[in-house]
């Protein structure tokens, strides 16, 4: 007998060509974070053509919110897709490669957007039976980790019981979904350390305080922040990625500046690492007569999945004939984590058999994953609606 999930999967397959065309149209016209004006216009057009309501009561400058359902009483579940591209010159040689020089959908957000549109089309066809409302969040500026905040500020999470989303995963084969309870992606914080010394003639170092020597010691000592403070079964990364100082071969400068990033998967480890980082940088500088000031550039917290939603995601994958596997966590950051601070959420990795990792100029994905991703999001949204609806009834 054909189940409702079988029907959904077949219908998604029928929509496959249309979804691929949508993805390629987006791929040809990538726009950077907070500049997704044409992308937003296109998404609006595709949704409106299918009779889907745009929820302009949640105003966004770029990106948009849409809604399906609400004809029957029930909870609200949000499906999130990010829509922005990266400042990378595309080197795929594809016939539908980027037409915007220096910009590329090198993280596959075009895939996420097309998959969410696919889910919207599928859910629209079942709208009369939806036990609640599915709210689609087409979010700008994920790459700057500032778009989720705009969506939250618009009020679009009001009444939302759960939020789901996915990211394509090049190293997982098409037909698999990486689903993990607990931490999946890292908190991605940045830092800027200013080391203040005192300038002098290079031949008379005793007249000054050398910030370059101090900065070099700080970089070395920072290597102990993760290795001597974080246990073997926990993890953290501390990377110094920029170090600037000086103007001439014969002058000891008066300051040095170093930047970089810290990645952690756990809030407690995150706090400990940030505290030790500051103590080490300030202490080493002070020992050498210099002064370090540490500025944090706070990024998204860890993506931390809800256990119950993870079970529903596994059941959704299985119902569609997809293989649910437990993925290794990624040390990359994701601003989906900001939604999970507000409501329970589930972020999945979706197999796309890509030749390159995210953010590579030859990044690509296997488009056969697209209708599968659309079906997965639709199936999951519906299952979460049903589950949250039962929970609410149980409480009444």
List residues near Ni ion by CB under 5 A: 107
Residue from 289, 279, 290 nearest 256 by CA: 290
* Strand order through the sheet with 187-196: 236-245, 255-264, 187-196, 291-297
Cβ proximity to Ni ion: between 33 and 245 the closer is 33
Output the smallest distance, CB 330 to Ni ion, in A: 10
Output the smallest distance, CB 188 to Ni ion, in A: 12
Cβ proximity to Ni ion: between 88 and 285 the closer is 88
Phi/psi-derived region of residue 234, left when phi > 0, alpha when psi is between -120 and 50, beta in every other case: beta
Angle at 151 between CA 79 and CA 267, to 5 degrees: 85
Count of alpha carbons within 13 Å of 139, Cβ hemisphere only?
34
Output the smallest distance, CB 169 to Ni ion, in A: 10
Q: Which two tokens stand for residue 306?
A: 């809800």
Helices (H), 335-368: 336-342
Output the smallest distance, CB 142 to Ni ion, in A: 6
Output the smallest distance, CB 107 to Ni ion, in A: 3
Q: Which residue is nearest to Ni ion (CB)?
A: 107
Cβ proximity to Ni ion: between 107 and 384 the closer is 107
Q: Are 284 and 217 within 8 A, CB to CB?
A: yes
Task: Annotate 126-136 with b (16+ C-beta within 10 A) or e (fewer).
Answer: bbeebbbbbbb
Please name the helix (run of DSSP H) or strand (run of DSSP E) that holds residue 51, with its range, or none.
none
Cβ proximity to Ni ion: between 107 and 187 the closer is 107
Output the smallest distance, CB 163 to Ni ion, in A: 16
As a whole number of angstroms, the distance between CA 364 and CA 356 comes to 7
Cβ proximity to Ni ion: between 166 and 230 the closer is 166
Cβ proximity to Ni ion: between 189 and 254 the closer is 189
Cβ proximity to Ni ion: between 107 and 292 the closer is 107
**DSSP secondary structure, 86-129, as one string:** BS-------TT--SSTT-B--S-HHHHHHHHHHHHHHHHHTGGG
Q: Which residues are within 8 A (CB) of 271 and not within 5 positions of it... i.e. 6 or more apart? A: none
Phi/psi of residue 8, each to 5°? Answer: -60, -45
Output the smallest distance, CB 339 to Ni ion, in A: 15
Cβ proximity to Ni ion: between 143 and 210 the closer is 143
Output the smallest distance, CB 41 to Ni ion, in A: 22
Count of alpha carbons within 13 Å of 110, Cβ hemisphere only?
31
């Amino acid at each position: 007998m054909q189940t409702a999930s079988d029907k959904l999967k077949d219908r998604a397959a029928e929509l496959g060509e249309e979804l691929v065309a949508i993805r390629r149209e987006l791929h040809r016209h990538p726009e950077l974070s907070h500049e997704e004006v044409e992308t937003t216009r296109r998404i609006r057009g595709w949704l409106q053509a299918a009779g889907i309501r745009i929820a302009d009561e949640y105003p966004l400058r770029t990106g948009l919110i849409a809604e399906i359902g609400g004809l029957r009483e029930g909870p609200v579940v949000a499906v999130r897709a990010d829509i922005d591209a990266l400042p990378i010159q595309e080197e795929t040689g594809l016939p539908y490669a980027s037409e915007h020089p220096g910009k590329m959908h090198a993280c596959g957000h075009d895939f996420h957007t097309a998959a969410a549109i696919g889910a919207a089309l599928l859910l629209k066809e079942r709208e009369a039976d939806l036990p609640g409302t599915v709210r689609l969040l087409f979010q700008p500026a994920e790459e700057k980790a500032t778009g989720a905040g705009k969506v939250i500020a618009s009020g679009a999470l009001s009444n939302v019981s759960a939020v789901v989303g996915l990211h394509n995963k090049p190293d997982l084969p098409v037909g698999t979904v990486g689903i993990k309870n607990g931490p999946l992606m890292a908190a991605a914080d940045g830092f800027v350390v200013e080391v203040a010394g005192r300038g002098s003639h290079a031949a008379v170092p005793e007249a000054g305080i050398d910030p370059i020597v101090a900065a070099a010691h700080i970089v070395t000592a920072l290597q102990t922040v993760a290795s001597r403070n974080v246990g073997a079964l926990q993890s953290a990364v501390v990377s110094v990625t920029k170090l600037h100082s000086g103007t001439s071969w014969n002058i000891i400068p008066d300051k040095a500046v170093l930047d970089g990033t810290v990645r952690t998967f756990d809030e407690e480890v995150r706090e400990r690492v940030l505290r030790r980082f500051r103590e080490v940088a300030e202490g080493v500088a002070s020992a050498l007569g210099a002064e370090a000031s540490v500025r944090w550039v706070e990024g998204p917290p860890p993506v931390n999945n809800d256990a119950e939603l993870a079970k529903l995601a596994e059941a959704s994958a299985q119902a569609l004939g997809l293989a649910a596997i437990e993925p290794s966590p990624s040390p990359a950051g994701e601003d989906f984590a900001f939604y999970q601070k507000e409501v329970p959420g589930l972020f999945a990795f979706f197999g796309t058999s890509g030749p390159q990792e995210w953010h590579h100029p030859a990044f690509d994905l296997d488009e056969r994953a697209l209708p599968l991703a659309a079906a997965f999001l639709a199936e999951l949204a519906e299952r979460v609606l049903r589950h949250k609806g039962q929970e609410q009834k149980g409480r009444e």
